[in-house]
């Protein structure tokens, strides 16, 4: 079709130039479908949605086994990225995506590194689905390098010291106290805590299949965890249904990760313990195992760590403290 109001800058860039309108640059390459779409949108003032749009692709992806086979926590992370992509490029044609577009989107979110790195990861998955549908031939999102979190923004999980543990156990409200004991006693990631059902507790141990690794574990409860679980069970007034979540909201619905996180943050702030976060409760659990003299294999059997690297990291500080105290006794 004949296109009016186009002006080529000496640099080669093409602009839409019409009297009374702001000069608008057309980013797509001339002669491509993406170029025609941008021109049409500027000319008519209407958004053009291609049949092979990102919105259509994401809708189809949600019906595939790529989506239904994901763990709940992964779906939650992907949902946030897809909401972002739908807002930014939902009506755009999948075929127009370039590697530079992926990198630009990642850089635009560099202030939130984890989310920024999820963008190319999500686009890789969506482009693979588009290849399956025959919409594109190659995956332009593959191989984009992940951004590194700046040193000044890296935040270490501070292990809960004895005084903070004692204070929380003495002063926390019942539900935060139960969450706390599940975190320290199970030595699992916070995302797994909300997955426990009453059917997973036999009065002595908790069973689970880890969200991240899909590893099945049987976790003998500590005395504190057992007491907290038995107290919560007794407060229900009847034998709980096996499928019912152990952690529930005030209205009786299963608690999700975000709800648990907000609840625990409010309680830690109330008690002046906001410096010690949820993930550090897993750290504390590993340290307690190390203090008890457990070796790396025994700790890994509890925590479910796939490699010894993280076990050594978490247990190392606890063992250093033990050895230093032993050295002090010898010194004296």
3-class state of residue 229 by DSSP: helix
Q: Residues 191-238: pLDDT tens digits?
A: 899 999 999 999 999 999 988 878 899 999 999 999 999 999 999 888
- Which residue carries 């630009």 as its tokens? 104
Pick the CATH number of 54-147 from 1.10.150, 1.10.3860, 1.20.120, 3.30.1300: 1.10.150
Which is more confident, 107 or 315?
Answer: 107
Q: Residues 89-111: pLDDT tens digits?
A: 888 889 889 999 999 999 999 98
Query: Over the range 65-91, which residues count as b (16 or more CB within 10 Å of their CB) and which as e?
Result: eebeeeeebeeebbeebbebbeeebbb
Across 27-31, 42-46, 93-97, 173-177, least confident range: 42-46
Half-sphere exposure of 71 (CA within 13 A, CB side): 13
What lies within 8 Å, CB to CB, of 27 at 6+ separation is: 38
Helix axis angle, 279-291 relative to 308-331, nearest 10°? 50
Which is more confident, 153 or 14?
Answer: 14
Decide if 218 contacts 200 (C-beta within 8 A): no
Cross-sheet strand order for the sheet of 14-16: 6-8, 14-16, 24-26
Topology classification of domain 162-331: hpI Integrase; Chain A (1.10.443)
Average pLDDT of the chain, as a whole number: 88
- Which residue carries 């247990």 as its tokens? 315
- CA gap 96, 34 in Å, rounded: 6
The Cα diameter of the chain in Å comes to 93
- The pairs formed by 312-318 with CB atoms below 8 angstroms and a separation of 24 or more are 314/282, 314/283, 314/286, 314/287, 314/290, 315/286, 315/287, 315/289, 315/290, 317/159, 317/287, 318/286, 318/287, 318/288, 318/290, 318/291
Q: Using the 8-state DSSP alphabet, how is residue 53 labeled?
A: B
* Model pLDDT, residue 93: 87
Over residues 116-126, the mean pLDDT reads 95
> What are the sequence ranges of the domains in the chain?
6-44, 54-147, 162-331
pLDDT band of 310, cuts 50, 70, 90: confident
Domains 54-147 and 162-331 share a fold: no
- Residue 218 Ramachandran class (φ > 0 left, ψ -120 to 50 alpha, else beta): beta
63 pLDDT above the threshold of 90: yes
């Amino acid at each position: 079709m004949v296109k009016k109001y186009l002006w080529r800058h000496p640099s080669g860039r093409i602009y839409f130039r019409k009297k009374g309108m702001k000069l608008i640059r057309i980013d797509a390459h001339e002669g491509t479908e993406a170029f025609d779409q941008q021109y049409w949108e500027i000319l008519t003032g209407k958004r053009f949605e291609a049949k092979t749009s990102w919105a259509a692709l994401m809708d189809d992806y949600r019906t595939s086994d790529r989506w239904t086979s994901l763990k709940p926590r992964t779906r939650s992370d992907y949902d946030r990225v897809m909401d972002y992509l739908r807002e930014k490029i939902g009506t755009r044609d999948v075929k127009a995506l370039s590697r530079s577009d992926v990198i630009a989107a990642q850089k635009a979110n560099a202030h939130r590194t984890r989310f920024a790195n999820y963008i190319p990861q999500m686009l890789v998955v969506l482009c693979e689905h588009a290849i399956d549908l025959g919409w594109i031939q190659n995956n332009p999102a593959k191989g984009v390098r992940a951004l590194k979190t700046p040193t000044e923004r890296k935040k270490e999980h501070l292990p809960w010291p004895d005084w903070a543990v004692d204070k929380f156990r003495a002063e926390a409200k019942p539900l935060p106290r139960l969450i706390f004991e599940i975190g320290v006693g199970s030595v699992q990631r916070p995302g797994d805590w909300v997955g426990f059902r009453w059917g997973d507790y036999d009065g002595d141990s908790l069973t689970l299949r880890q969200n991240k690794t899909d590893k099945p574990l049987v976790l003998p409860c500590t005395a504190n965890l057992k007491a907290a679980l038995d107290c919560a069970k007794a407060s229900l007034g009847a034998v709980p249904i096996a499928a019912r979540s152990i952690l529930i909201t005030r209205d009786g619905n299963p608690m999700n990760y975000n709800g648990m996180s907000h609840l625990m943050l409010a309680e830690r702030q109330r008690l002046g313990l906001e410096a010690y976060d949820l993930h550090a409760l897993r750290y504390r659990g590993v340290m307690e195992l190390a203090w008890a003299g457990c070796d790396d294999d025994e700790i890994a059997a509890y925590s479910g760590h796939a490699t010894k690297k993280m076990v050594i990291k978490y247990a190392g500080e606890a063992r250093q403290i033990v050895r230093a105290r032993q050295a002090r006794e010898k010194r004296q």
